Structure 1
Amino acid sequence: MSTSIKAKVSARPASFISTLYADVNAMRILRFAFGVTVACALAYGINWPLAFLMPVFTALLLAMPLPKPSVKASLNNMMSTLQAFALGLAFSLFFLQYPIAYLITLALVLFHLYYYLNRGGSFWFTLMSMIAILVLPMIANSNEGLAIGFSAGFVYSSWLTIAMLWLAHFVFPDPSFTQFPVKPKYTNRYSKVAAQLALKSTLVTFPIAAVFITFGLSDYLLVMIFSAIFILKPDLTQGKEAGRNSLLSTLLGGVFAWFFYWLIVAVPQFYFYLLLLLATTLFFGRHIFSGTNMSKYYSSGFIALLVIINSAMAADSNFNAILAQRIFLISGAIIYIVCALKVLERFFFTTK
Structure 2
Amino acid sequence: MSIKMTDKSASIGKNIFADVKAMRTLRFAFGVTFACALAYGINWPLAFLMPVFTAMILAMPLPKPSVKASFYNMVSTLQAFAIGLAFSLFFLQYPMAYLITLALVLFHLYYYLNRGGSFWFTLMAMIAILILPMIANTNEGLAIGFSAGFVYSSWLTIVMLWLAHFVFPDPSFTHFPVKPKYSNVYSKVAAKTALKSTLVVFPIAAVFISYGLSDYLLVIIFSALFILKPDLAEGKEAGMNSLLSTLLGGTFACVFYWLIVAVPQFNFYLFLLFATALFFGRHIFSGTPIAKYYSSGFIALLVIVNSAMAADSNFSEILVQRVLLICSAIFYIICALKVLERFWFKANNQ
Partner amino acid for 1:45? Answer: G
Structure 1 residue aligned with 2:70: 74
Alignment equivalent of 1:177, drawn from 173, 179, 186: 173
Structure 2 residue aligned with 1:289: 285
Alignment equivalent of 1:248, drawn from 244, 249, 261: 244
Instruction: Render the CA deviation track for 1:7-40: whole Å, top value 9, x for unaligned.
Output: 3332222211111100000000000000000000
Secondary structure of 2:161's counterpart equals: helix
Structure 1, unmatched stretches of 5+, are none
Is 1:345 equivalent to 2:341 in the alignment?
A: yes
Alignment equivalent of 1:304, drawn from 300, 306, 310: 300
Structure 2 residue aligned with 1:262: 258
Alignment partners' CA distance in 1, 2:71 and 2:7: 41
Partner amino acid for 2:49? Answer: L
Is 1:156 equivalent to 2:155 in the alignment?
A: no
Alignment partners' CA distance in 2, 1:179 and 1:298: 22
Alignment partners' CA distance in 1, 2:259 and 2:288: 29
Kindly report which structure 2 residues correspond to 1:324-335, keeping only aligned pairs within 5 A, or say none: 324-335=320-331
Alignment partners' CA distance in 1, 2:133 and 2:284: 35
Partner amino acid for 1:142? Answer: T
Alignment partners' CA distance in 1, 2:171 and 2:153: 29
Is 1:92 equivalent to 2:83 in the alignment?
A: no
Alignment partners' CA distance in 1, 2:224 and 2:302: 21
Structure 2 residue aligned with 1:227: 223
Alignment partners' CA distance in 1, 2:2 and 2:46: 53
Structure 1 residue aligned with 2:140: 144
Instruction: Render the CA deviation track for 1:225-279: whole Å, top value 9, x for unaligned.
Output: 1000100000000000000000000000000000000000000000000000011
Structure 2 residue aligned with 1:124: 120
- CA drift at 1:6: 4.1
Q: Would you identify which runs of 4 or more consecutive aligned residues in structure 1 move more than 4 Å? A: none
Alignment partners' CA distance in 1, 2:75 and 2:87: 18
Alignment partners' CA distance in 1, 2:11 and 2:306: 40
Is 1:323 equivalent to 2:319 in the alignment?
A: yes
Structure 2 residue aligned with 1:279: 275
Alignment partners' CA distance in 2, 1:131 and 1:9: 53
Alignment equivalent of 2:43, drawn from 33, 47, 50: 47
RMSD (Å) for aligned C-alpha atoms = 0.6
Secondary structure of 2:6's counterpart equals: helix
Alignment partners' CA distance in 2, 1:132 and 1:46: 24
Q: How many residues align?
A: 348
Instruction: Render the CA deviation track for 1:159-178: whole Å, top value 9, x for unaligned.
Output: 00000000000000000000
Instruction: Render the CA deviation track for 1:43-84: whole Å, top value 9, x for unaligned.
Output: 001000000000000000000000000000000000000000
Q: Which moved more, 1:56-65 or 1:10-19?
A: 10-19
Structure 2 residue aligned with 1:57: 53
Partner amino acid for 2:113? Answer: L
Structure 1 residue aligned with 2:129: 133
Alignment partners' CA distance in 1, 2:93 and 2:340: 31
Give the TM-score, by structure 2 length.
Answer: 0.99
Structure 2, unmatched stretches of 5+, are none
Alignment equivalent of 2:99, drawn from 93, 97, 103: 103
Alignment partners' CA distance in 2, 1:6 and 1:102: 73
Alignment partners' CA distance in 1, 2:22 and 2:247: 27
Alignment partners' CA distance in 2, 1:287 and 1:133: 34
Q: Which moved more, 1:247-256 or 1:10-19?
A: 10-19
